[in-house]
Amino acid sequence: MSNFGRMLKNILSPGRSSTLIPPEVPAQLRELLKDYPAYVENLQTVLNEFAEPTPRVQPLDEAIWALQNRLDCFLQEAVRQLEAAQADGYLLLIDEANRARSTMGRALLSFDSDPDGLGRYFKLHKKAFE
């Protein structure tokens, strides 16, 4: 269900659902991964899990760790693709895989402790995670 659909559902039947609108993938990551929309969607799926009010000790840290873990998976996948392309000797695939590896590495390394105010999201919804 889209964010808008979830919001509309909450407005129409507020007593039936306590689901929050999930935080968005930080703009910094969306920009770095603009050529990889499936990865951005995958990261959004990770963040969608934080729309469900659940007691969490450190929700911001948990969200950051979840994103970093997924980015690390993307990097490992890109390295495997590069190795396979090099083994096959396809120059075009080598170039594409090398570019993906570089992008995923930059995304992981540039990810800071509170990207684009994820902290504001968790501060705003603090009660939902207690």
CA distances to 2, 8, 23, 64 from 17, rounded to whole Å, are 15, 11, 17, 25
Confidence check: pLDDT of 120 > 60: yes
How many CA atoms does the CB half-sphere of 75 hold within 13 Å? Answer: 14
pLDDT classification of 6: cutoffs 50, 70, 90: low
| Cα Rg, the chain, nearest whole Å | 18
Residue 33, SS3? coil
pLDDT attached to residue 8? 47
Calpha distance 118→43 (Å, rounded) = 14
